[in-house]
A and B are shown apart, each in its own frame.
Chain A
Amino acid sequence: MTRTRDPERTLALVAGCRTPFSRAGTDLRGASAADLATHVFREVLDRTGIDPRSIAEVVLGCGGADAREANVARVAALRAGVPQEVPAVTVQRNCASGMEAVFAADLRLRAGEGDVFLVGGTESMSNYPLTMGPALTRLFERLARARSPFARAAALATFRPSQLKPRVALQEGLTDPVSGMIMGMTAERLARTFGIQRGAQDAFALQSHRRAARARERGRLAREIAPLAAPPQYRAMVDADNGIRAEQSLEALARLRPVFDRNEGDVTVGNACQITDGAVGLLLMSLARARSLGLRPLAVLRGHGHAGLDPAAMGLGPVHAMPKALADAGLGFGDVELFEINEAFAAQVLACIAAAASGEYCRTQVGLPGALGEIDPARLNVNGGAIALGHPIAASGARLLLTLAEELRERSLHAGMASLCIGGGQGQAIVLEAA
């Protein structure tokens, strides 16, 4: 286990914080993705007191960047007081965008391109727009080009009321254009393949809420949260996640109607992740740099991996990515003491557990010699997950790492792994080690 590593090339997670995760359309609806990211970046910088000139690059994940802030990383970095000389890039790997930011920093460090990185993920799902489709855009183009009143009238005559039908970015973003499936349908498919009953899904969702509620009660979640005053009016400080339902009961969950397959499905709003606003900011640097600055890292990054699979089975992405991350880390499955797997859907996480334990699946689909291993539910998502906290797309990957790092320290454990399934058929995983 105690393989020595080059501190110059080992990425340390030095500090991190997140906004409270708020259900879309509630406390943080007035904040743009850049507003949220600006807040967490400023907090990370203020809390650590590092000189932001030393940052090699700012990397921020964002799943649905607003047209006004397309490179939201740059906008947030400048607004948070990062000097203009420091470059910034926004990365997009759907649900794993926040983990991709850490991944990208690790690649840069390994390549010798800088040793301090401000990273994170941000998503304002409240502000996903309704857009006008190309048909209406064409009409405006024709109108703009029309020179004579006659030409203008002719252009107007091509108007059809159907052109006014808006496109819903949220819905389109959650639909995979290759398989044509909305994410919920991929979860339904996994539930059927692995024989996961509605009751098991609801029980998992209930557990997520209970664990999160307990973590909130004992102040564990507050340790990650940097409260913020909610724009645009700043009437109140938002200091806690508002998706956690401490009073949730199995009966209430059972009463919910399926959303995606209305007649035969299992996936309900109760056992799927919530649509949420939030951002996470992390300060990463080489272990050597952290030591020379006298900063005590939360954890170090031991290995990373990502993989692709059938888009229609995207929920199993973690099973494909985790072995790669373990190989990169030089660790065995049994060395991992804590797991964080993003709870896109209860069915999907349960399918991952089943697939990882299945010798046949791992051999035929992942290319492993045998089963990956049994994931102990008691060591998985110990403070709840996206079903309770919500899944602000790009923020989740970074949140899993922050939560995992804090938890490794709290429990004095050695190694943990965080992983996400990714719409479009991918998985990503990162192994963290106590610093």
Chain B
Amino acid sequence: MTTMDTPVAPVHSTPEEGVVHLTFEADGLAVLRLGAPGERVVTFTERRLRSLEAALRKLHGRSGLAGVVVTGPGPGMFAAGADIKVIEAVHDAAAGEAAAREGRSIYGLCQELAVPVVGAIEGPCLGGGLELALAFDLRVVSDAPGTLLGLPEVKLGIVPGFGGTQRLTRLLGLPAALDLILTGRLLDPRQSRKVGIADRVVPSQRLLDAARAEVRRLQACGRKAPVRRLRGFAWFATRCAPVRNFVADRARKAALSGQGRFYPAPLRALELCLDALRLPPDAGFANEARALGELIVTPVSKALVRLFFLTERAKRLGKSEAARPVQRAHVVGGGVMGAGIAGLLANKGVAVRLCDLDQAALARAKARLQKDLDKRVQRRRLAAHEAQAVQDRLAVSGEWGSLQRCDLFLEAVVEDLAVKQRLFATAVERGLPDTAVLATNTSSLPIDAMAEGLRAPQRVVGIHFFNPPEKMPLVEVIRGARTSDPAVATACALAVRLGKFPIVVQDAPGFLVNRCLAPYLNEAALLLLEGNAPEAVDRAMLDFGMPMGPARLLDEIGFDVADKVSRTLSAAFGSRMTVNPLFAAMVQAGALGQKSGGGLYDRSGSKPGPGRAVLARLRRERADLAGPAAPQQIVERLIYPMLDEGWRCLAEGLVAGEEDLDLGLVMGIGFPPFTGGPTVYARRIGLAQVVATLERLAAAGRPGLVPSDALRAAARG
């Protein structure tokens, strides 16, 4: 079939990476590959775009061309979008706009070709990759797993800039386009066929042949594919102005709800999608390029790009060679954490045995997993037989059974050192293989003490999930003094496999996240005692960008847990973490929070709860009622001590670097992602400013807030 194989751009004997490759087949068909065979990831760099342009221009000049099939370098990869390093490097709005205009016009060459262009898509087809595919006449998509289509640009604080907003809106109509572009949601082959991005979904092995057949079919009946007409609701919501306005209003409200107001990209994208319907194409494309240029230089975008790199970095921790495969796991402790972790393991293919003496807890664990599975089956995210396989992998029992084939023994029982030590010792006695990892989900006890006296203490590692484990994206992997590299690597790999971002933290009280959260919650409680309404404190922090105010958060955590953790940290760090009397008082009054049916708020989380009476009583007993503070003061008093604690952790070598601190607090506490993380935020304020503010607060009667030497040193530069 193949008559010649020419890499476009510099000619080499072997196909070169980083550029597109054009092959001509006997019957006038051209196959354009977006990379060299064997190239695992295709991203659009300047170089690849230039070679794409050259290839398309060559096709324009070619006589006897019947049609073009565009596909990835090989199975499992189409194009993952623009190179994010390129996005990161743009610091000039005009340059960003020019690059967008340039890229859009290169993609436009596909449409200007007189012959049909058909995409053969397998693997990631994201961002700039999908924008290119949208410029084709037809898209044939493979059913291979890992095939995902979408425009996730808003997640990086930008909008699709190579024509994506315009083309997708015209192809799918307004509602579907908004749904995809404003959320950055990715679609699997079946979903992409349903919304209309994919014209055909075919078995992986037949992908190229199906694309070739589509080219010939189009060629036989009039060269280019006809423009697809919108039908039904999509037509109404796109062409009929009142309905369109209604849909746009709904989307606008959704984009602004919650913390959406801190992210400008979705709103810009919304306007661009509307432009696609109300402006001539060129004007729409021009607006899109301008929007991209303006957004790409915003601090929000830079912050999100940085976080993206941090998450990628965390995921790489899961790829270590030293990690041992985990096929079978024992989880002891059927509470919220143990059951949640066991369910996660079962979901990801680990045969897990959850053990607890409380039979009711075991049934709850199964029921909770089933509820989640039922929901996913109902939404067609999961087939019924797959759900059953997940449930089958979770065995629950009062008996441990044999540990001989266990790869991971994880305990999530009460926070009692003696109990945990005994569990680990028993596990070793009962024949746990020496290669198995002994993991603890403790949030407050020292790993080293747990490893004490064990045979092979180097395999004891902390895997600290956050509550609820199904939802919280962070896992602290705790390295004790004797913990081995393979144990840490296994824990990290497991966290990544479970869809979490791991950060490695040294064994110290509170580890990283709880330790940095403590001054925040302590100070919040103090503000409440000083006479600030919980609503006012929460409002100030929501306006700062936190996903939940501290008073609500305390209700979620539970005052019993807050009190206990607080005591541990106070014992370790003394005066700067003094236990706030509010915690114990709430526990005494039985207003633990959500778990007891209400704390500072009631069960609904929006109205005052039974804890207000406790608060009022404590206020009456206090002499120094400072009264309500201004929102800015609240932010300073809550966030700055957290920053200080962060720098202390850095100075103590608790985490490897600022990247881990940022990822940890963003994913673990919800530190606003648009800031880029605490260290980026602190530098934007100015570290000297943070130090000065803390000194002022310390002088004004909060001696515990004296800034650390670590922060002072960082401020001096």
Chain A interface residues (CB < 8 Å from chain B): 38, 42-43, 46-49, 51, 79-81, 226-227, 229, 231-237, 239
Contact in complex: B397, A43 (CB < 8 Å): yes
Contact in complex: B402, A48 (CB < 8 Å): yes
Binary CB contact string for chain B from 472 to 516 against chain A (1 if under 8 A, 0 otherwise): 000000000000000000000000000000000000000000000
Contact in complex: A38, B397 (CB < 8 Å): no
List 11 A–B pairs whose Cβ atoms lie within 8 Å, in order of A's numbering: A49-B404, A81-B393, A227-B398, A229-B366, A229-B367, A231-B370, A233-B367, A233-B370, A235-B363, A235-B367, A239-B359
How big is chain B's contact interface, by range? 20 to 34
Give me 13 other A-B pairs in contact (C-beta within 8 A), A229-B366, A237-B360 excluded.
Answer: A46-B353, A46-B402, A47-B401, A49-B404, A49-B405, A79-B388, A79-B392, A81-B351, A233-B367, A233-B370, A234-B369, A236-B363, A237-B396
The answer to the question of B198 belonging to the interface, with a C-beta cut-off of 8 Å to chain A, is no
Q: Which 10 A-B pairs have the closest CB atoms?
A: A49-B402, A49-B404, A234-B366, A46-B401, A237-B359, A229-B366, A234-B367, A47-B401, A229-B363, A79-B392
The answer to the question of B399 belonging to the interface, with a C-beta cut-off of 8 Å to chain A, is yes
The answer to the question of B395 belonging to the interface, with a C-beta cut-off of 8 Å to chain A, is yes
The answer to the question of B389 belonging to the interface, with a C-beta cut-off of 8 Å to chain A, is yes
A residues near B431, Cβ cutoff 8 Å? 49
Chain B residue, CB-CB nearest to A46: B401
A residues near B370, Cβ cutoff 8 Å? 231-234
B residues near A46, Cβ cutoff 8 Å? 353, 395, 397, 401-402
Binary CB contact string for chain B from 401 to 431 against chain A (1 if under 8 A, 0 otherwise): 1111100000000000000000000000001
Q: How far is the CB of A301 from chain B (nearest CB, A)?
A: 23
Q: How far is the CB of B479 from chain A (nearest CB, A)?
A: 30
The answer to the question of B705 belonging to the interface, with a C-beta cut-off of 8 Å to chain A, is no
Q: How far is the CB of A18 from chain B (nearest CB, A)?
A: 14
Known: A43-B395, A79-B389, A80-B392. A237 touches B362 (CB 8 A): yes
Contact in complex: A227, B388 (CB < 8 Å): no
A81 to B329, CA, bound (A): 13
Chain B interface residues (CB < 8 Å from chain A): 351, 353, 359-360, 362-363, 366-367, 369-370, 388-389, 391-393, 395-399, 401-405, 431
Chain B residue, CB-CB nearest to A44: B401
Q: How far is the CB of B141 from chain A (nearest CB, A)?
A: 30
A residues near B402, Cβ cutoff 8 Å? 46-49
Contact in complex: B405, A51 (CB < 8 Å): yes
A47 to B401, CA, bound (A): 4
B residues near A237, Cβ cutoff 8 Å? 359-360, 362-363, 396
Which of the residues B362, B389, B393 comes within 8 Å of A229, measured between beta carbons? B362
Q: How far is the CB of A120 from chain B (nearest CB, A)?
A: 16
B residues near A80, Cβ cutoff 8 Å? 392
Chain B residue, CB-CB nearest to A39: B395
Identify which of A81, A235, A237 gathers the most chain B CB atoms within 10 Å of its CB. A237
Contact in complex: B399, A47 (CB < 8 Å): yes
Contact in complex: A38, B363 (CB < 8 Å): no
Contact in complex: B397, A227 (CB < 8 Å): yes
Which of the residues B360, B392, B403 comes within 8 Å of A236, measured between beta carbons? B360
A residues near B362, Cβ cutoff 8 Å? 229, 237
Q: How far is the CB of A43 from chain B (nearest CB, A)?
A: 7
B residues near A233, Cβ cutoff 8 Å? 367, 370
A residues near B398, Cβ cutoff 8 Å? 227
B residues near A229, Cβ cutoff 8 Å? 362-363, 366-367, 396
A residues near B366, Cβ cutoff 8 Å? 229, 234
Q: How far is the CB of B354 from chain A (nearest CB, A)?
A: 10
A354 to B401, CA, bound (A): 44
A237 to B357, CA, bound (A): 12
A408 to B353, CA, bound (A): 31
Identify which of B370, B401, B404 gathers the most chain A CB atoms within 10 Å of its CB. B401
B residues near A235, Cβ cutoff 8 Å? 363, 367
Q: How far is the CB of A156 from chain B (nearest CB, A)?
A: 33
A226 to B398, CA, bound (A): 9
Which of the residues A49, A51, A227, A234 comes within 8 Å of B401, measured between beta carbons? A49
B residues near A42, Cβ cutoff 8 Å? 392, 395
Q: How far is the CB of A142 from chain B (nearest CB, A)?
A: 32
B residues near A236, Cβ cutoff 8 Å? 360, 363
Known: A79-B392, A232-B370, A239-B359. A226 touches B397 (CB 8 A): yes
Q: How far is the CB of A22 from chain B (nearest CB, A)?
A: 15
Contact in complex: B367, A227 (CB < 8 Å): no
A226 to B359, CA, bound (A): 12
Identify which of A38, A49, A229 gathers the most chain B CB atoms within 10 Å of its CB. A229
A residues near B363, Cβ cutoff 8 Å? 229, 234-237
A302 to B473, CA, bound (A): 58
Which of the residues B388, B396, B399, B403 comes within 8 Å of A49, measured between beta carbons? B403
A residues near B351, Cβ cutoff 8 Å? 81
A49 to B351, CA, bound (A): 13
A residues near B359, Cβ cutoff 8 Å? 227, 237, 239
A235 to B360, CA, bound (A): 8
Q: How far is the CB of B644 from chain A (nearest CB, A)?
A: 47
A239 to B398, CA, bound (A): 11
Identify which of B351, B369, B395, B398 gathers the most chain A CB atoms within 10 Å of its CB. B395
Q: How far is the CB of A17 from chain B (nearest CB, A)?
A: 10
A43 to B395, CA, bound (A): 8
A394 to B363, CA, bound (A): 27
A46 to B395, CA, bound (A): 9
A81 to B401, CA, bound (A): 15
A residues near B404, Cβ cutoff 8 Å? 49
A233 to B368, CA, bound (A): 9
Chain B residue, CB-CB nearest to A234: B366
Q: How far is the CB of B550 from chain A (nearest CB, A)?
A: 36
A399 to B125, CA, bound (A): 56
A235 to B365, CA, bound (A): 10
Chain B residue, CB-CB nearest to A76: B392
A111 to B360, CA, bound (A): 46
Q: How far is the CB of B378 from chain A (nearest CB, A)?
A: 13
Identify which of B367, B392, B393, B431 gathers the most chain A CB atoms within 10 Å of its CB. B392
A159 to B403, CA, bound (A): 61
A residues near B360, Cβ cutoff 8 Å? 236-237
Q: How far is the CB of A325 from chain B (nearest CB, A)?
A: 32
B residues near A51, Cβ cutoff 8 Å? 405
A92 to B359, CA, bound (A): 34
A237 to B388, CA, bound (A): 18
Chain B residue, CB-CB nearest to A81: B351
A49 to B432, CA, bound (A): 11
Q: How far is the CB of B530 from chain A (nearest CB, A)?
A: 47
A residues near B353, Cβ cutoff 8 Å? 46
Contact in complex: B392, A38 (CB < 8 Å): yes
Q: How far is the CB of B12 from chain A (nearest CB, A)?
A: 45
A residues near B367, Cβ cutoff 8 Å? 229, 233-235
A277 to B63, CA, bound (A): 75
Q: How far is the CB of A54 from chain B (nearest CB, A)?
A: 12
B residues near A47, Cβ cutoff 8 Å? 399, 401-402
Q: How far is the CB of A222 from chain B (nearest CB, A)?
A: 10
Chain B residue, CB-CB nearest to A48: B402
Q: How far is the CB of B231 from chain A (nearest CB, A)?
A: 31
A81 to B328, CA, bound (A): 11
A residues near B403, Cβ cutoff 8 Å? 49
A49 to B401, CA, bound (A): 7
Q: How far is the CB of A392 from chain B (nearest CB, A)?
A: 21
B residues near A49, Cβ cutoff 8 Å? 401-405, 431
Chain A residue, CB-CB nearest to B388: A79
B residues near A79, Cβ cutoff 8 Å? 388-389, 392
